[in-house]
Amino acid sequence: DAKTTQPPSMDCAEGRAANLPCNHSTISGNEYVYWYRQIHSQGPQYIIHGLKNNETNEMASLIITEDRKSSTLILPHATLRDTAVYYCIVRVFYRDDKIIFGKGTRLHILP
């Protein structure tokens, strides 16, 4: 799996959009970008994934650059409940073993 780089922490004001960047410059053509988050020692929660097109679901939007070397997770209207560690993961779709979780970005939502 390609390596990812994320800032260790970020702040965002409540109600504003939270934009979490991820660098994955060595991504391969068959690797997807996944985002999970972990809220204070709870089990990680799947957020979204994509290959090359931008994706949106009820939780977030994923913007992948045209060269696929970086991506941004967008939480459109951050709330205090979005305070968590966010993990950007690159892996082959249907890969049949583990998810490699790095250290992620600790997002603080400020009231």
- The verdict on 53 binding other proteins (CB under 8 A) reads no
The only residue of 45, 56, 65, 79 in contact with other proteins, by rule CB under 8 A: 45
* Residues 6+ away with beta carbon under 8 Å from 13: 78, 109, 110
The only residue of 69, 80, 101, 110 in contact with other proteins, by rule CB under 8 A: 101
- The verdict on 103 binding other proteins (CB under 8 A) reads yes
* Residues 6+ away with beta carbon under 8 Å from 110: 11, 12, 13, 14
> Can you give the binding site for other proteins, defined by CB under 8 A?
32, 34, 41-46, 49, 87, 93-104
